[in-house]
Copies of this chain bind each other. A is one copy, B any other.
Amino acid sequence: MGSILLCGADLLLRHEGRWSVQKRGFLGVRDQSIDYIGVDRPTATYDEEITLGGHLLMPGLYNMHTHTPMTLLRGLGSGLTLDRWLREAIFPVEDRLTPDDIRVGTELALLEMLASGVVSFNDMYYMPEITADAVLSAGMKANLNRPIVGFDKDEPYAKNQRVRESLQFFDTYHKAGNGAVLVDFAIHAEYTSFDELVKPYAADCLARGARMHIHLSETVKEHEECKIRHGTTPTRWFLDMGVLDSPVVAAHCVAVEPEDLDILQDRGVTCVHNPSSNMKLGSGFMPLATMLDRDMKVALGTDGAASNNNLNLFEEMHLAALIHKGHAGDPTIIEPGQLLDMATVRGAAAQGRTNAGELAVGQAADIVAIDLRKPHLVPNSDTLSLLVYSAQASDVAMTMVNGRVLYERGVYHTIDATRVLEEAAACALRLGLPVDGN
């Protein structure tokens, strides 16, 4: 792996929960970790030096809820209601996806995420072995799972095919690539499960010391229907099932009620905000400002490219910074530093990754370089504000994971981008996806 010294960039540091900028410093990387940060050139020697004047180094981003293979479904059914979007645009294509489609869709997603500064992500999709192999081959990090759903209450737990795949995937891939891939448990949602399935699965998760990934109260409709079905909110139902006894990452949390917030906070559940998807599907707004005020655990995600329609975490930071101010009529809520927390260190924590998410000696060298020499980033009177309100994913000049440069100004070092783009177009054709209605 060797060692690299990054010279002359501004450094986005974090001390006791507050971000600050060290102007024109040095950052040393050795054995996959950061081994030096300072204003002065270190005395140790490094195999390689990269000069990065005019750039900002920041921790790599964590996309905490997505469905990577769905990049192939990008743009399908825009403008439909959630129900119609799923039934008419998404499910029919998903039924036709082959293992090769899953691989290509995943690789396409990795290209997009690396180019926009994402170093690790939380996925939820089927055939996760294919996604795991692609992640390992690309040199990225991810928390993956095989989500369970169940429709037949008479089927014994042990016979559920998805449960078996989920457990087997855990046993085969958990901590693969020296911990680059972590395997979680996952329950698609309350409305696609039932007690007899979820209770033993939650117990299995707890017994393995695993983490859990769920969809939670994405829409008012599913939230209210759960109350009719179970007499409780989805949050309370997951609590009753024992699901919240493990560390949980819960996507969406749009329709949660005050009592739900109490439960989620008490159990230390990480609520993942997906602003693009929730707006595009007309679901609404996660109560982010309230959650931050309560000091609850929160993180950021893109959701799948089919309901976004991209995997751009800079865009999600930007949206999360703006929409709650507009919705609440209050420009003082939600600070840039809180969004950077969500996109970095809070994501790492929710994935169960220690020594990750910040630029500090001893941390994993998961580093993004932002090119500040762009008209829209000048002048730079406030770097945090600049990153959240002005910067674009395309300002990412370099993405490094575990000390290895995976992306550099349009060039990918571990994925053949030309091949993937050609394969993706071929998949779309073979799947019979529309081409501008022509």
Q: Spell out A's residues near B (CB within 8 Å).
A: 20-21, 23, 71-72, 74-76, 78-82, 85, 108, 111-112, 115-116, 220, 275-276, 278-285, 305, 308-312, 315, 318-319, 321-323, 325-332, 335-336, 373, 375-376, 378-383, 385-386, 389-390, 392-394, 417, 420-421, 424-425, 427-428, 433-438
Contacts and interface: CB of A to CB of B under 8 A. Distances in A.
A82 B330 CA distance: 10
A394 B421 CA distance: 19
A75 B323 contact: no
A331 B79 contact: yes
Given A280-B322, A383-B436, 14 more contacts: A23-B436, A23-B438, A74-B379, A111-B375, A112-B375, A275-B326, A278-B326, A279-B325, A310-B390, A315-B318, A319-B322, A379-B425, A379-B428, A382-B436
Contact of A115 (B79, B321, B331, B375): B375
A389 B302 CA distance: 12
A337 to B, nearest CB: 10
Number of copies: 2
Contacts of A327: 327
Nearest to A422: B378
A326 B285 contact: yes
Contacts of A81: 331-332
A308 B79 CA distance: 27
Given A81-B331, A325-B280, A330-B282, A375 B309 contact: no
A281 B333 CA distance: 10
A325 B85 CA distance: 15
A45 to B, nearest CB: 30
A331 B84 CA distance: 11
Nearest to A54: B421
A135 to B, nearest CB: 16
B425 A75 contact: no
A281 B389 CA distance: 12
A74 B390 contact: yes
A358 to B, nearest CB: 18
B376 A78 contact: no
29 contacts: A23-B436, A71-B375, A72-B379, A74-B379, A74-B381, A74-B390, A75-B380, A75-B390, A76-B381, A76-B382, A78-B336, A79-B332, A79-B335, A80-B332, A82-B331, A112-B376, A220-B329, A275-B322, A275-B326, A279-B326, A305-B390, A308-B390, A309-B386, A309-B390, A310-B390, A375-B421, A379-B424, A379-B425, A394-B394
B424 A21 contact: no
B85 A381 contact: no
A285 B71 CA distance: 31
Which of A280, A378, A420: most chain B CB closer than 10 A? A378
A389 B21 contact: no
Nearest to A421: B378
Given A326-B282, A375-B417, A379-B433, A78 B385 contact: yes
A376 B280 contact: no
B428 A279 contact: no
B311 A376 contact: yes
A433 B381 contact: yes
Which of A108, A112, A284, A390: most chain B CB closer than 10 A? A390
Which of A74, A383, A393, A433: most chain B CB closer than 10 A? A74
Contact of A424 (B111, B378, B383): B378
B389 A331 contact: no
A381 B326 contact: no
Given A80-B331, A278-B326, A378 B310 contact: no
A435 B75 contact: no
A213 B283 CA distance: 36
A385 B421 CA distance: 19
A438 to B, nearest CB: 6
Contacts of A330: 282
Contact of A283 (B78, B85, B319, B326): B326
Contacts of A305: 376, 390
Contacts of A329: 220, 282-284
